[in-house]
Amino acid sequence: MQWADRLRLRWSSLRHRSRVDAELGDELRFHLEQQITENLEAGLTPEEARYRALRSIGGIANLQEECRDMRRLNLMDSFMKDLIYAGRTLRKSPLFAVVAILSLGFAIGANAAVFSVINRLLLAPLRVADPDTLVAVERVLPAGGTESEFPVAAFEQFRDHNRTFSGIAAWASSRLSVSLNGEPAELVDVGFYSGDAFAVLGVEPILGRTFTSAEDHAGQDAVAVISDRYWRRRFAGSETVLNRKIETKGVVVTIIGVLPPGFTGLSEMTGYPDITLPFVWQSRFALNDNGVHANIAARLSKKATIEQAQAEANVIFSRVTQQLIDPATPEDRKRELLAQSVQIRPAGRGDHGQWERYKLRLAILMGAVAILLLIACANVANLTLARGAARQREFAIRYAIGAGRLHLIRQLLTESLLLGVSSGLVGLWMAGWARSGLAALLGTEGSVALDGRVLAFTTAVSIASVILFGLAPAVRSSRAGLAQGLTGRSITRVLSGARGLVVA
């Protein structure tokens, strides 16, 4: 098996090389023959013609080497050789390789897993159409902090008077006890979305339809769309779900559609709704003490910037606040209300609410796994140093037969690179099953995907750790007593130098 691998690697690099070399040979032979022909035409004897042509072309081997350099073939070639050599030395000490790869891999995996959660909460786009033009409207409180809920009257003013949004939707959420087929009631996350919310978000149902603005009026029959998750859990993903009835607080609600699996709501703090009703039903169902309220999501129109939208929203909001204030309100409370302003932030990426809620925990976790990675790097650096000490004789011999110091460093770094890449792969595999546990631990909703960003992060971490654990030992090993290496006395000295690095 080893031999087969080695042979295959050799063969592929050789084949690549020999094809280019053969072409080069043909090319130069053609040139030579043209030159000979010309010399013959000039009246030289065949021998003389050939001799002069050969002389004009100079050393063919030299020329080939130079062309190969130009193609960076030699660089590739020596890298491949280094890689093969590195693989061979690692196989010779399997215990070292396994320990190094596992400890580094575990640390890289932990980093990748935590990053994938951060990625999901901070960076990953919402599953809505064109996430980058979706914004959220928020109140900035004079005491600091923000609040996402508005009086419904404010939402209506925004909706009717803004010129910077191409669409605006109100939504709220709550929990309701819902019963199905007369079974015992179950507590379910419920959303209330204004009639055009799904059109504004660009979310299409995978089954049935979403409700219309006409159904978002008092006096209409109650209709609802359900989440893909709820559909699978309670209806086993059956298509007969349409027109089924659910009952909550004495109202019979007809199911008219199922939302796609990626859409987890606009979940500010609340998780994602399994049942979504038209916004008007909030006043009938909501448990909220401070009455009916609206969270606001909007689409920035193509011509408007966030700053323009924010300036306009502030004008509208201060007007509506003045109208809404009860004259009997105490003066200081009045001032506080009027001191509020509005801010508009991008809402199409990540999950702002959950991020706000988990950022401290995530920062602590990220710090912990970063330290874990540092410790792992230090340990592997230690192992590499110790190995370097044991390999002094090998380095000394290689140095003696003509390898430069830079080449030795490159060789050692290639070994580290091989370790790092293997560890990265192990890390990705570990992150794959760690992330679901991590998501559960944090209580975040939705799937945590390993996407391109996580992959890029893992690669960067692996390379950084290679530099971290590989460079110092490589430089040190190549320097420490190249001459004494052959006498076999330097080992203790190098080891004592390594003591400064012992961590765990």
Partner 1 sequence: MAKSTDLVQGTLDLLILKTISLEPKHGWAIAKRIQQVSKEVLQVQQGSLYPALHRLEQQAWIKSHWAETETGRKAKFYSLTKAGRTQMEKELASWDRLSAGINLVVREV
Nearer to partner 1, 60 or 251 (CB): 60
Work out how close the CB of 432 gets to partner 1 at its nearest, in angstroms, rounded to a whole number: 39
Work out how close the CB of 80 gets to partner 1 at its nearest, in angstroms, rounded to a whole number: 18
Burial class (CB in 10 A: 0-12, 13-18, 19+), 16: middle
For position 71 contacting partner 1 by CB under 8 A, the verdict is yes
Q: In this chain, which of 69, 132, 186, 307 binds partner 1, going by CB under 8 A?
A: 69
Using CB under 8 A as the criterion, what x/- string covers residues 400-419 for binding partner 1?
--------------------
Work out how close the CB of 28 gets to partner 1 at its nearest, in angstroms, rounded to a whole number: 7
**What is the DSSP secondary structure assignment for residue 182, as one 8-state letter?**
T
Write the CB contacts of 385 (distance below 8 Å, at least 6 apart in sequence). Answer: 472, 473, 476, 477, 494, 498, 501
Q: In this chain, which of 5, 26, 130, 186 binds partner 1, going by CB under 8 A?
A: 26
Contact criterion met (CB below 8 Å) for 204 and 221: no
Work out how close the CB of 43 gets to partner 1 at its nearest, in angstroms, rounded to a whole number: 18
Both tokens of residue 458? 């893992």
Nearer to partner 1, 11 or 30 (CB): 30
3-state secondary structure (DSSP) of residue 175: strand
- Residue with token string 């006043």: 283
For position 75 contacting partner 1 by CB under 8 A, the verdict is no
Q: How many CB atoms lie within 10 A of CB 37?
A: 12
For position 23 contacting partner 1 by CB under 8 A, the verdict is yes
Candidates 67-75, 155-163, 300-308, 399-407 — which segment interacts with partner 1 by CB under 8 A? 67-75
Q: Cα–Cα distance between 311 and 167 in angstroms, integer?
A: 17
Work out how close the CB of 36 gets to partner 1 at its nearest, in angstroms, rounded to a whole number: 11
For position 206 contacting partner 1 by CB under 8 A, the verdict is no
Work out how close the CB of 79 gets to partner 1 at its nearest, in angstroms, rounded to a whole number: 16
For position 57 contacting partner 1 by CB under 8 A, the verdict is yes
Contact criterion met (CB below 8 Å) for 158 and 168: yes
Q: Return the HEC string of 89-142.
A: HHHHCHHHHHHHHHHHHHHHHHHHHHHHHHHHHHHCECCCCCHHHEEEEEEECC
Candidates 61-69, 197-205, 239-247, 295-303 — which segment interacts with partner 1 by CB under 8 A? 61-69
For position 31 contacting partner 1 by CB under 8 A, the verdict is yes
Q: Cα–Cα distance between 256 and 246 in angstroms, integer?
A: 11
Q: Cα–Cα distance between 111 and 372 in angstroms, integer?
A: 9
Candidates 39-47, 54-62, 261-269, 314-322 — which segment interacts with partner 1 by CB under 8 A? 54-62
In the complex, which residues of this chain contact partner 1 (CB under 8 A)? 23-24, 26-28, 30-31, 33-35, 56-58, 62-63, 66-67, 69-72
